[in-house]
Amino acid sequence: MRRPSTGSRLAAYTDAVFAVIITIMVLELRPPEAPTLAALLMLWPTFVSYVVSYLFIAIIWINHHYLMGYVGAITLRLVWVNFAHLFCVSLLPFATAWIARTELAAVPVILYAALFVVTDGLYNVFEREILRASSEVSREVYRHARRRSLIALGLFAVAAALALIQPLLGFGFICVALLLHLTPDAAPWNRRRPTATGRDGGPAA
């Protein structure tokens, strides 16, 4: 009987989707019609929103890349969670273009922050499924990764709430939440080292 495929195909497909999403976002960058620096500076909402969204995708890819190193057999649940996560990420070019064209107006920023909440929430589920099943992750590392991920998710939720009052403040909170994910939760240096007496218990539920 053929063994279930590893995470290589899932990772390859995810990489391809991220590449397409970044390409779509780049196509939204339109140069100004006037050949002046002032005209270029008028496009600041476009550049700022693009940089933040690009950073978000980069962070997602980096975390996803390291996390896939802990995957054993791929389950159907894991595949569907990954597809749901990618669906949310695929909406990022639309949300980015909207906040750029409306110069960070309240409703677009609320939607933008809400998209971050849902996307990060699904990544949390994806991360939890993989790390719980891995024998290479210690309890301490597992708890640290989950705690940091949940804090970032909470900040995205706060950003969505703040956008109701002050869109720029909500957008700023999104940037703060992104900083928590600059270092991957499931980096190679967090792998469990084998001991002479064998492995200790896996991460708690």
- Which band of pLDDT confidence, cut at 50, 70 and 90, is reported for residue 193? very low
State the Rg of the chain over Cα: 19
64 contacts 15 by C-beta, under 8 angstroms: no
Of 50-64, 127-141, 153-167, the one with minimum mean pLDDT is: 127-141
Q: Is the pLDDT of residue 189 over 90?
A: no
pTM of the model: 0.80
Q: Is the pLDDT of residue 194 over 60?
A: no
Greatest CA separation for the chain: 71
Domain ranges of the chain: 8-188
CA–CA dist 111, 98 (Å, integer): 9
pLDDT tens per residue, range 68-115: 877 777 888 889 999 999 999 999 999 999 999 998 888 999 999 999
CA–CA dist 167, 48 (Å, integer): 14
